C-alpha cells in the first residue's frame, strides 16, 4: 500500500520577491498576503485561474512548488473563490519547503503561460 502523499501547493511570485525570499530564507508574504493575514496558495487544479485572475500582464513571474508537510497546523484549507477550498498559511513560508521554481512567461496578449508542474530534471 502506498502512503498518502499530500498535494503540492503552488505560489506565484514576482522575480524580485523570489530573490528576496531566497536571500532571507523566509517569506512573510506578498503585499496582498500581508493585507489578508495569510499567504495564499493554490492547488494544481486552481492554478490556471489564479494566474489568469491575479497575474495577467505581470512580467517576471516565478512559480514555486511547495511541500505542505513541513508547514504543519499553520496551513489551513479555507473556503474562497466560488466556494472552493484554497490553502492558506498563517506563518512565514520557510525556503526549505520550496521544492522547485520555474519562470512563467506571458502569451502575446499578456496571460501567464504555466510551465509543466512536473519536477525539473
**Which CA distances in Å does 94 have to 29, 34, 41, 78, 84?**
11, 16, 14, 21, 26
| Domain architecture of the chain: domains with CATH | 10-104 (3.20.170.20)
CB atoms < 10 A from the CB of 71, how many? 21
Quote the CA–CA distance of 27 and 38 in Å, as a whole number. Answer: 11
Check whether 87 has a pLDDT greater than 70.
yes
Contacts of 98 (CB under 8 A, 6+ apart): 64, 65, 66, 67
CA-closest candidate to residue 49, choices 119, 104, 114 = 114
* pLDDT of the residue at 18: 98
Q: How far is CA 109 from the centre of its chain?
A: 23
pLDDT in tens, 17-66: 999 999 999 999 999 999 999 999 999 999 999 999 999 999 999 999 99
Amino acid at each position: 500500500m502506498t502512503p498518502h502523499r499530500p498535494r503540492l501547493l503552488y505560489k506565484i511570485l514576482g522575480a524580485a520577491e523570489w530573490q528576496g525570499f531566497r536571500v532571507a530564507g523566509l517569506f512573510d508574504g506578498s503585499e496582498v498576503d500581508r493585507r489578508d493575514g495569510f499567504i495564499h496558495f493554490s492547488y494544481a487544479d486552481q492554478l490556471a485561474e489564479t494566474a489568469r485572475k491575479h497575474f495577467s500582464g505581470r512580467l517576471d513571474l516565478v512559480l514555486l512548488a511547495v511541500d505542505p508537510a513541513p508547514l504543519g497546523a499553520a496551513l489551513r484549507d479555507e473556503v474562497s473563490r466560488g466556494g472552493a477550498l484554497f490553502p492558506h498559511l498563517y506563518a512565514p513560508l520557510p525556503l526549505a519547503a520550496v521544492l522547485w521554481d520555474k519562470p512563467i512567461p506571458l502569451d502575446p496578449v499578456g496571460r501567464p503561460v504555466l510551465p509543466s508542474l512536473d519536477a525539473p530534471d
